[in-house]
Amino acid sequence: MDPAFNDIQTNPWNEIFKIVFFPDRIYHAEYLNATRSPRYRYNVREVRSYLGINALKGEVYLDGKFISNFLRLEYRSSRLIEQVREKKRLLSSGVIAWVKLLPEDESKKAESRVKLHHCPWIDAYTVEIWETLEAPNTSYHDFQILDQMGRDGSITRVKAFNPALRDIKALTQIELAFRENDRNLPTGYQISDADACWDNDYSRSHQEPRTQEPSSQQNTVDDLNYLINFQRGWFLQAPDIKPVRYRNAMMDGDNPDLADNNIIDMRWIVQRELGGSNIFFHEVTIPPGTVEGTHQHIGTEELYYISEGEGLAYMRAGDDPATDKYPTVKRQVMGLGSREFKELPVKPGSVIFTKSGGMHGIRNPGTKPLKFVAFLYHTI
């Protein structure tokens, strides 16, 4: 990162848009593992985050000499803690990560399991995977750093990862999943894969237009992991992205709106590339005479922005007091039966924002397509 960024951050004119220039984890290099000794310096090239996970990649120097490329993982375990509690266990001092490196050169991709150790400096589980643990010729490692090095240490080496780490700039993506330690402490009994709790991003999947058959399972790709993407930007043309088609989306079998021709299209523009807690950004087309069923959000929030056409949106009565003036209607809610909703006229520029616990749906009773873009993100 350009050192001039510090001037941008402190410049008075930046007060208005300071949120745009929020300092990255790159400015906390003093919390990396080898900085326990002043002889080591890190050059962090990229930092990416996803809901309690940080991934940093770059270079390590010893006494001013380059010694290794590295990949650092930090995991704050909020999701895994809850699962382990249900089994009346504790995470204790370590967790295990399944790590898959996806460099530009596919012949160098590799996967392995790596142990992470709890670091009180940042209150997270961490590991640094170095290309080599050997000191340069005519040099030696500091004893404080040697103490952290090893197969299960907080600074480690994974032989299979070396081809990808050798060209750190070309390491573009990482897939991650986390499980509790393989031994229960302090009792010491073994925890098998079958019994272990995993954090795989809520059994994460994504959508691909593999077939135009509505609601086909072929379009759902099971990932079962987090994706960390080091790419810095995307330029996309939404019309060039094929839609995934859904018949009677968000509806139970007894919904009166069910129909064979009740088919809507979703262009999944950005999905796993997003960071933070974002799940997707997509464009939805509701053809004339079709409906997206009303449904409740739990643990997620979603924002609709109407971009084309006119129609009717449904928000549960009481979710927004400002909608009290609109007609009240009964709507079938997926999995929950009938509820009272406010029927809201929508057009380009209309926004429907639904928090966790809220309910919404949308209908196109007109003669032209109704289009909106939607953001969905986890709240926990």
Using DSSP bridges, classify how beta strands 40-49 and 65-75 pair: parallel, antiparallel or unpaired.
unpaired
Which residues, at least 6 apart from 330, have a Cβ–Cβ distance to it below 8 Å?
338, 339, 340, 341
28-37, 272-281, 321-330: least confident range: 28-37
Q: Give tens-digit pLDDT for 138-186.
A: 899 999 999 999 988 999 999 999 999 999 999 999 999 999 999 887 7
DSSP letter assigned to residue 202: T
Please report whether residue 17 resides in a domain.
no
Residue 23, domain member (yes or no) = no
Q: Does residue 235 share a domain with residue 195?
A: no
Residue 363 lies in a domain: yes
In single-letter form, the type of residue at position 25 comes to R
- Clarify whether residues 172 and 60 are in a common domain: yes
**Quick check: is 207 in a domain?**
no
Cβ atoms of 363 and 250 closer than 8 Å:
no
Any domain includes 1: no
d(CA 334, CA 361): 10
Which of 146, 181, 199 represents a domain boundary (last residue)?
199
Residues 151 and 74 in one domain: yes
Do 186 and 241 share a domain, yes or no?
no
Q: Is 246 in the same domain as 98? A: no
Same domain for 46 and 193, yes or no, is: yes
Q: What total number of domains does the chain contain?
A: 2
Instruction: Based on the fold, state whether residues 319 and 361 are members of the same structural domain.
Output: yes
Task: State how far Cα 89 lies from the chain centre.
Answer: 26
pLDDT of residue 63: 94
Same-domain status, 147 and 102: yes
Same domain (yes/no): 86, 163: yes
Please say if the pLDDT value at position 68 is more than 70.
yes
Considering the domain architecture, whether residues 246 and 177 belong to the same structural domain is answered as no
Q: Containing domain of residue 137, as a range?
A: 32-199
Q: How far apart are the first and last CA of the chain?
A: 30
How does pLDDT run across 72-92, given as a tens digit for each residue?
Answer: 999 999 999 999 999 999 888
Q: Are 251 and 292 found together in one domain?
A: yes
265: CATH: 2.60.120.10
**Is the pLDDT reported for residue 304 higher than 80?**
yes
| Tens-digit pLDDT profile for residues 92-144 | 889 999 999 999 999 999 999 999 999 988 899 999 999 999 998 889 999 99
Predicted confidence at residue 188, as pLDDT, reads: 77
Q: What is the largest CA-CA distance in the chain?
A: 81
237 and 136 belong to one structural domain: no
Written as one string, the DSSP assignment of 245-276 is EEESTT--TT-TT--TT-EEEEEEEESTT--T
Q: Is 18 within the bounds of a domain?
A: no
pTM comes to 0.91
Which of 178, 199, 220 is the C-terminal boundary of a domain? 199
Contact 249, 292 (CB under 8 A): yes
